[in-house]
Amino acid sequence: MQNKRLNGLNGNLAALALGDPEGMPVLALHGWLDNAASFIPLSRPLPEYRIVALDFPGHGHSDHRPAGVVYHFVDYVADVAHAALDLGWERFTLLGHSLGANVAVVFAATYPELVDRLVLIDGVGPTAGVADDAPSRLRKSIDVGLHPRAARRGSYTNWDALVAARQQASPIGVAGAELLVRRGAREHEGEIRLRADRRLRQPSPMYLEEDVVSAFVDRVEAPTLLILAREGQVITREVTHQRIARFRDIHVEDLPGQHHLHMDDPEPVAAAIRDFIG
């Protein structure tokens, strides 16, 4: 395991390089408020691949967005483009979980010449909005920036308390939660403080509409593997299956587990990926 620094849209991106340095290249994108450590458990049963797992801006060890800049979804796509250029890979497998899977769909449609295979874990494209809701959503996001509430300090007295808090935020095993918080926090003057940018919780100013998301799905050329958690966040949504039907070349696996199944039980996920990639 090796720490790397890559260029992002407007700052440095931290990354973890996992597996065989000479192996098949895989660029991995984590979920919202997770970080690159999300892919450590999955890399262990896949030692033959070279997995470079990014920390998105504002997450893990990556730089935060500059002051006054909102975390727009499409800017994550630009971050991936910058990182891919920095890595110098001509083609690679793109692997994403949750938010990272949603970003991966849009990136694969935007840069189809770069993506050899697309692997999505419990995510199948960005959350879509309704046109009539756009003005109120934009105002809500701006108002939060104009009148921010006093933020909690985001500090803990011990690591066990932070691990427990992470488990309360979303279902995940102890081992996975500890991996995430160890990378997502730091000790300072006797306190454990979160590294994540508080602005990540600010409401998104704008959502893409479903017909726009569909246009991206339609343009994904890479063969795609979608792994759905049977007790996860997206398997029961009607829009998930509507989008699946639009992919040109997709194989769907539903596996036991919750949203972080790639951390809680990585072996079945790894087996599905190996069978798909080869």
Give a yes or no: residue 20 inside a domain.
yes
One of 43, 62, 98, 141 is an active-site residue; which one?
Answer: 98
Kindly indicate the confidence band of residue 151, based on its pLDDT and cuts at 50, 70 and 90: low
Give a yes or no: residue 146 inside a domain.
no
CA dist list (Å): 93 to 29, 40, 64, 185, 222: 11, 17, 26, 29, 9
pLDDT at 190: 81
pLDDT at 153: 55
Token duo for residue 60: 């893990």
In the predicted structure, residue 126 carries a pLDDT above the cut 90: yes
pTM: 0.95
pLDDT at 189: 80
Give a yes or no: residue 179 inside a domain.
no
Give a yes or no: residue 167 inside a domain.
no
In the predicted structure, residue 154 carries a pLDDT above the cut 80: no
Give a yes or no: residue 160 inside a domain.
no
Mean pLDDT of 148-165: 79
CA dist list (Å): 240 to 130, 200, 251: 17, 24, 14
Query: Can 155 be counted among the known catalytic residues?
Result: no
The mean pLDDT value of the chain amounts to: 94
DSSP string, 11-42: SEEEEEEEE-TTSEEEEEE--TT--GGGGHHH
Give a yes or no: residue 40 inside a domain.
yes
Mean pLDDT of 3-29: 95
Per residue in 184-236, pLDDT (tens digit) is: 999 988 889 999 999 999 889 999 999 999 999 999 999 999 999 999 989 99
Give a yes or no: residue 169 inside a domain.
no
Domain of 262, in residue numbers = 2-128+209-277
Q: How many domains does the chain have?
A: 1
In the predicted structure, residue 54 carries a pLDDT above the cut 80: yes
CATH code assigned at 68: 3.40.50.1820
In the predicted structure, residue 149 carries a pLDDT above the cut 80: no
Give a yes or no: residue 269 inside a domain.
yes
DSSP string, the chain: -EEEEEE-SSSEEEEEEEE-TTSEEEEEE--TT--GGGGHHHHTT-TTEEEEEEPPTTSTTSPPPPTT----HHHHHHHHHHHHHHHT-SSEEEEEETHHHHHHHHHHHH-TTTEEEEEEES--SPPEE-GGGHHHHHHHHHHHHHSPPPPP--EESSHHHHHHHHHHHS---HHHHHHHHHHHEEEETTEEEE-S-GGGGSPPS--EEHHHHHHHHHT--S-EEEEEETTSSSTT-HHHHHHHTT-SSEEEEEESS-TTHHHHSHHHHHHHHHHHH-
pLDDT at 229: 97
